[in-house]
Amino acid sequence: MKPDLRALTRPELEAALTALGEKPVHAAAVYLAVHRLGAADLAALPGVPPRVTAALSPAYSLSTLPVPAETQVSCDGTRKILFRFHDGAPAECVVLPAKDRVIACLSSQSGCDCGCTFCATGALGLRRSLTPQEIIAQFEACLREAGEISSIVFMGMGEPFLNWENVKRAVRLLSDSRGRHFPQVKMTVSTVGVIPVIEELTASDLRVRLAVSVVAADEETRARLAPMEKKYPLRRVLEAVRAYCRARKAAVMFEYILFPGVNDRPSDSALLAGLVRDIPCRVNLIPYNPPGGPGGETPRVKAFQLELIEAGVRTYLRVERGADIAAACGQLAAKNKEPRG
Ligand code: SF4
């Protein structure tokens, strides 16, 4: 099978053109045609000399970007977009319009094998990781729905750091100045704590922001809710996060879903504050929304926030969106069905 031009970064495209005896400078026009002008035919790339397309055609293919199977609209304006890729693998992305911005929440995998007990995606298991093209297709679908996207979060289905090569490639493709030119600093990648990839990100030239899902501050509860704790304990994850913040001179975002009676007690807020106080961070508190509801804010949510603030931790209470279409945090669970013939 010929390699897909759509998955090549611009430096790779330049190298490919050079190897074919063409000038690497044409890579900019090819890139623009494929990633911004929506070209679907390798033989007719707008703005690219026919000699260059003729040289590329025998060696490369140009895939068609997948299109969504279905879109659901929430009463609060949130839109959930469902894809079924060529092999039937499902994935969902979400458009979250806020007062002054629009967030695109993208999936990195179809399903997930991390097994977090509170997460509808985790209950599906892993079907497979998504390709860079499938990740980009989600962004393009969100862009078509919203007209404009202010920021991207990799917080949909899957653990992005367990599909890091493809997520990284999608980040490079989306941020290229001849493509969508989407700033890397406006992309946030969320992990439940894959330490080697946090370390790799720290050392890399990527400017994406890091978010870490804390789940619970005590080891026992965390291991019960997020089995990844056994492989990458939170305290070691936080060491890697400290190194990231020092090297990047950046802050990290901690995500903390509040499970009533499980991790929302005063002792939990005290433990959490003790763990993160010395880290430049913001803690996003998310009231738990079980799949099928009811969930949302309990009296402890505001109290928990206040306890963290009083302990000196910057804290933000996230207003959950799209619960009526199961688009809220932890609810994405496109069923693993094959498309109907
Ligand atoms: S919370 Fe994230 S890492 Fe955990 S099972 Fe769900 S998608 Fe996977």
Atom of ligand 1 nearest to the CA of 119: 6
**Beta carbon of 121 within 6 Å of any ligand 1 atom:** yes
pLDDT of residue 296: 62
**3-state secondary structure (DSSP) of residue 89:** coil
Enzyme catalytic residues: 92, 329
5/294: higher pLDDT:
5
Q: Please, are residues 124 and 112 in contact by the beta-carbon 8 Å criterion?
A: yes
- Of 79, 85, 80, nearest in space to 109 by CA: 85
% residues pLDDT > 70 (the chain):
95
Q: What angle do CA 135, 184, 122 make, to 5 degrees?
A: 40
**3-state secondary structure (DSSP) of residue 188:** strand
**Position 204 pLDDT exceeds 70:** yes
The rounded mean pLDDT for the chain is 93
pLDDT of residue 98: 87
**Beta carbon of 116 within 6 Å of any ligand 1 atom:** yes
> pLDDT tens-digit profile of 221-276?
999 999 999 999 999 999 999 999 999 999 999 999 999 999 999 999 999 999 99
**Position 53 pLDDT exceeds 90:** yes
- Convert 244-253 to b/e letters by CB count within 10 Å (16 or more is b): bbeeeeeebb
- Mean pLDDT (whole number) for 205-230: 97
Q: Which residues are CB-contacts of 57 (< 8 A; sequence separation ≥ 6)?
A: 42, 43
Q: Which residues are CB-contacts of 297 (< 8 A; sequence separation ≥ 6)?
A: 287
Confidence of residue 149 (pLDDT cuts 50, 70, 90): very high
Q: Distance (Å, rounded) from C-alpha 315 to C-alpha 306?
A: 8
**Beta carbon of 320 within 6 Å of any ligand 1 atom:** no
> pLDDT tens-digit profile of 274-307?
999 999 999 999 998 876 665 567 789 999 999 9
**Beta carbon of 158 within 6 Å of any ligand 1 atom:** yes
Domains in the chain: boundaries: 5-56, 70-325
Q: Rounded to the nearest whole angstrom, what is the distance from the C-alpha of residue 323 to the centroid of ligand 1?
A: 17
CATH classification for the domain delimited by 70-325, as one of 3.20.20.70, 3.20.20.410, 2.40.70.10, 3.40.50.720: 3.20.20.70
- Mean pLDDT (whole number) for 44-63: 96
- Of 180, 169, 178, 177, nearest in space to 208 by CA: 169
Q: Rounded to the nearest whole angstrom, what is the distance from the C-alpha of residue 104 to the centroid of ligand 1?
A: 18
pLDDT of residue 218: 95
- H helices then E strands: how many in the chain? 12, 12
Q: What is the pTM of this model?
A: 0.94
- Give the lowest-confidence range in 19-23, 168-172, 216-220, 337-341: 337-341
- Mean pLDDT (whole number) for 17-21: 98
Q: Rounded to the nearest whole angstrom, what is the distance from the C-alpha of residue 330 to the centroid of ligand 1?
A: 7
**Beta carbon of 114 within 6 Å of any ligand 1 atom:** yes
- Of 289, 296, 298, nearest in space to 331 by CA: 289
**Position 315 pLDDT exceeds 90:** yes
Atom of ligand 1 nearest to the CA of 158: 7
Q: How far is CA 31 from CA 10, 54, 172, in A?
A: 7, 16, 12
